[in-house]
Each structure stands twice: as structure tokens, then as C-alpha cells.
Chains A and B, each alone.
Chain A
Amino acid sequence: MMMDRISTVSRTAAHKRKAARPVLKMEYVTVISVILVLLCWEYFGRQINPIFASYPSAIALAFWKLLKSGALVKAFLESIQPLAAGYFLAVAVGVPLGLLIGRYRIVEAAINIYVVAGYSTPLVAIMPLFLLWFGLGFAVKVAIIFTLTVFPIIINTSDGVKQVPKALIEVGKAFVASQQGIMRKIIIPATIPYIMTGLRLGIGKAIIAMIIAEFFSSISGLGGIIINAGNSFQTANMFVPVVILMLMGVGLTRLVGWVERKIAPWQQGQIAREE
């Protein structure tokens, strides 16, 4: 017991030390990196014809103008609505389906072939069909975003379920848990890190899908600004939505990471990373 206790105490101490490590230091590195890249871009961007490229200060100015005119807010809202609808639909369908495929061989045998096919096919190829089916409005955008996002979520979830140690499932069985109980109390919590990875990858996919949808259906939203600005050689204007998309991607991905740390904090203690 003595030995037991001592080793744990030192372990917990090591744990605390790690947690107390200045996390901000890493944030500084990121900030400095971004500033350096922006400075380089500004310097070299100014030496190129503004039709072919742009630079941060010009983009910032274009941003301000678009914002003041109200066009940017309108486009953003137009984009974000199908994005949210398609993404949440993909999560609502993808996670349960992934759980079932991972857990039951028979479901995997019946469905997985479509998942693999759907994931590996460039879905842009069936865009024309989607336009026929869903028209040019909100529905087609949601459908495209859903279709591109749902597969990585299914695949990550089902892979996660397959990684759940057999020993943990046996614990459930030994304590008389039902199939449903094993799913709820063991498989889902054990799979959360994988589900979260799927959700993170899904965000990138969903944003790509949103822009594709806006390019191919009714020209609207942030994608619409890109197309219109590009066609009229207003390169700085074109970059505004691109930068917004980048920020959205980074922000949403971080949000998912934050949610993951909140609901699966036990993961943190098991990861070893170099400074």
C-alpha cells in the first residue's frame, strides 16, 4: 500500500506539473508565425499586379467596404444556414450509423460498401443530378453538404467502435449489461475521441461542400462573392470570403477540440507530445 501510494502521488504531481506548463507559450508561437506570414505576404503581394494577387492590407480594406455595404453579412448568413443544417444532419445520421456499422457485422456487411463507395467517389461528379433532384435553392446546398460530410463521420465512428477493447465489453457483459447498456455505457464513451475526429474532419468537408454548392447552384453566399469578384478581377474582394472561410475552419475545428476536451478529459492524460 505504501509503495502504491507513493508512486501515485509522484504520478499525480507529474500530472499537475504538466498541466501547469505554460500553454500560452505555444499560442505565442502560433501568433508569431501568423504575423510573419502576413508580413511576407504584404511585402511580396504589393510587388505583384493586383489582378493576379492581393495582400493583407488591401484585403482588410475590401473587407471593411463589403462589411459596410451589408453584402458580406448577407452572404455570410446565406452560407452559414445550409452549412449548419447540412452539418448537423450529417452528424445526426453519421454517428448512429457509424455506431451500428462498427458494432454489428451484419449491418457492416449490408451498408459499409456504400459508405466506402460514397467516401471515395468525388461527389462533385454527381452535382448535376443533385441539381435535378433538389433544385437550385436551400435544399440542394444542404444535400451536398450532408453528402460530403456524412461519410468521414460514419467511417471514423465505426473505426472507433472497432477499436473498443474486447476486455471492456466483457466487463459490461459480466455486470449483466444489455446490448443497449453496453452501447450506451461502454461503446459510446470509448468511441468519443474517434467521433470527435470525424466531426473535426467533417467541418473541413462541410465548408468545401458549401462553396461547391454555391458555385454550382444559385450563385450566392460567400462562394457567390468569390465567383463574382473573380469574374470581375477584383482580387482583393475575392480574398475576403476566402479568409473568412479559413477563419471559420480554424475556429470551428478548435471549437470541436474544446468540446472534446470538455466531454472526454480522460484522453488528455494518455497522450505524450514533444514540446
Chain B
Amino acid sequence: MEKSRPKVEVRHLCKHFSAAVGGKEQRTVALDNVSFSVNEGEIIALAGMSGCGKTTTLRIIMGLEQATSGTVEINGKAVEGPGFDRGMVFQHAGLLPWRTALENVEFGLEIKKIPAKQRREIARHYLDLVGLGDFANHRPHQLSGGMQQRVGIARALAIDPEVLLMDEPFGALDAQTREALQDELLRIHEKTKKTIIFVTHDLDEAVLLADKVVVMFPRPGRIHEIVDIHIPHPRNDAIAIRGSEEFTRKRYHIWKLLKMSNAMSDERMLTEV
């Protein structure tokens, strides 16, 4: 694989918020110098406890928020707002309730101005890909949470983005459905070879899915360590992977980091008080 230029290059992202707390203007540093790069076809997890800026980082990459300083480049092109080169999967699927599953998948294609007939074909293809071919005419309220998120994934893939961005995509699902969808995502990745960046607070999920886990610490939100996960693709046997030495070792390592992050922030809160 050619690795001349990374697919996604995140450079020195900083994000400051100003908020009035008790009448006093208080500045919060949400992100402090966040840099990492993602190669073509890689799966990257942004992991960390709440407040570490992982979702903010993802939203800046999507162009939904602006960084105070720093840049994001996709294929060497600077991100200045949302674009069809990135497809976003939202935490609670974010389906439009008045549209059927198929029409939801067509949403981005309509905005991309793909002709109706072609649009329908593409949408069907991706709905089949996520295993919901038989549910094309169901409305979101007739689908389970897991199925809704599958539609969300299909919608993001349908615009054929360079990068798939996922904001805690399986966080709202029950354990069984979550595992099914994790397998599903690996399978989809195998087929499409998309570059994927996803946010999670679930350790197992991060290690199981990702090639690199970006471990972030809060206050200020920053990268503590980027952990490489050396589990070869295709990762189609989740049971074997979970039992493997690499999985247990890396899981333990990241768990320790997060534990440390937790202890640090507890300590800081005590000293702040």
C-alpha cells in the first residue's frame, strides 16, 4: 500500500470556549494541540473519558465546528466546512422520521444532486450492504435502535465519502446489538476499504475495531498516547480476537491509561476546590 500522503491530517488543533460562569468570563480549553494522521483504509478510534474533546475533534474534522487554531486536511485539502468527502454517522442515528429507510439513505444523494433513478439504485445497494434490504419502506419508528443505526451508516456511505466519521455510533445500543454492529462495521470496512474515524468510550470497541487508538485526556482535551493495535485484517472472528494476546495486552494498556486519566482529573478537581 502506498503511504506517501496520509488520508487525513489533523495538525495542532486547539479549541477554546468562553463561557460566563457566575458572572465571570471563564475560558475553557477544550482541545490543546491535537495532532494525528490517518492513512488510507485505516480505522482510528478516538477514546477517552467524557470531556477529553474526542467528539469536538470529530466535529471539527466534519466541519460542524471550527477550531480556534490548527488545520484538518483530507487528501491534502484543507477542511473549511462540511463536504461530501466526509460521511457522518451520528450518535442516535439522526434519521428523518418522515422518510422511509430508503429515503433516508437517499438524503445525501439528493443534496449531491444525483438523478432520482440512480439515487434509488445507490440507496438500495447500501441498504443491502447493511443488511436492511427488506426494510426499505419502513419508517424509523418501525425500526429497532440497531437497525436505525445501520440506516445511518448506509446514509453516510451512500455519498461515497473518502472518510467515514462516526460519533459514538453504538453507544446508545444494548450490548448484544452493539456487538452485532461492531462485526457489521468490520465486514463493511472489509468490503469498502473506507477510512474510518470513530469516537468511543468503550475500550473493547476501540481495540476490537481500530488500527490505532488515539487516547485522549481531559482538561485540557489533549492526546496522551496513540496506541497501535496489531491485529491483522480481516477481523472476521471477534471471538478469536477477543481471546488473542494482542487484544488483551492493548486493552489492559489503554485501560491503565484511562484509569490514570481518571485519577489525574480527580486529583485536579480536589486541588481546584
List chain A positions with a Cβ less than 8 A from chain B.
Answer: 1, 3-4, 7-8, 11-12, 15, 167-168, 170-171, 173-177, 181, 185-186, 189-190, 192, 264, 266, 269-270
Contacts and interface: CB of A to CB of B under 8 A. Distances in A.
A7 B83 contact: no
A8 B144 contact: yes
B169 interface: no
Contact of B142 (A3, A15, A170, A177): A15
Given A1-B131, A189-B96, 10 more contacts: A3-B180, A4-B177, A8-B138, A8-B143, A168-B94, A170-B64, A175-B82, A185-B110, A192-B98, A269-B142
9 contacts: A1-B180, A3-B176, A174-B64, A175-B108, A175-B159, A190-B96, A266-B97, A266-B98, A266-B141
Interface residues of chain A: helix, strand, loop or mixed (majority) = helix
A266 B104 CA distance: 14
Contact of B94 (A15, A171, A177, A266): A171
Contacts of B155: 175
A186 B94 CA distance: 11
A190 B98 CA distance: 8
A173 B82 contact: yes
A177 B88 CA distance: 13
Interface of B: 62, 64, 82-84, 86, 88, 90, 92, 94, 96-98, 107-108, 110-112, 131, 135, 138-144, 146-147, 155, 159, 176-177, 180, 184
Given A1-B180, A3-B176, A167-B92, A173 B64 contact: yes
Contacts, number: 83
Contacts of A4: 144, 146-147, 177, 180
Given A1-B180, A175-B108, A181-B111, A8 B147 contact: yes
Given A1-B180, A181-B111, A266-B139, A167 B90 contact: yes
A174 B140 CA distance: 19
Contacts of A11: 142, 144
Contact of B144 (A7, A171, A190): A7
B83 A176 contact: yes
A164 to B, nearest CB: 11
Nearest to A165: B94
A62 B92 CA distance: 62
A185 B177 contact: no
Contacts of A266: 97-98, 139-141
A72 to B, nearest CB: 42
Nearest to B146: A4
A195 to B, nearest CB: 13
A11 B143 CA distance: 8
B96 A174 contact: no
A171 B98 CA distance: 14
A170 B98 contact: no
Q: Which 3 A-B residue pairs are closest in the complex by CB-CB distance? A: A174-B88, A175-B108, A269-B141
Nearest to B86: A174
Contacts of A175: 82, 88, 107-108, 111, 155, 159
Contacts of A167: 90, 92, 94
Nearest to B174: A3
Which of A1, A167, A181 has its CB near the most chain B CB atoms (within 10 A)? A1
Given A7-B144, A8-B144, A269-B141, A174 B82 contact: yes
Nearest to B107: A175
A270 B147 contact: no
Nearest to A11: B142
A253 B143 CA distance: 32
B134 to A, nearest CB: 9
Contacts of B144: 4, 7-8, 11
A181 B184 CA distance: 32
A190 to B, nearest CB: 7
B142 A12 contact: yes
Nearest to A182: B111
A177 B96 contact: no
Contacts of A12: 138, 142
A170 B94 contact: yes
Contacts of A270: 97, 141
A171 B139 CA distance: 17
A189 B96 CA distance: 9
B27 to A, nearest CB: 24
Given A3-B177, A4-B147, A170-B90, A176 B96 contact: no
A177 B112 CA distance: 9
Nearest to A15: B142
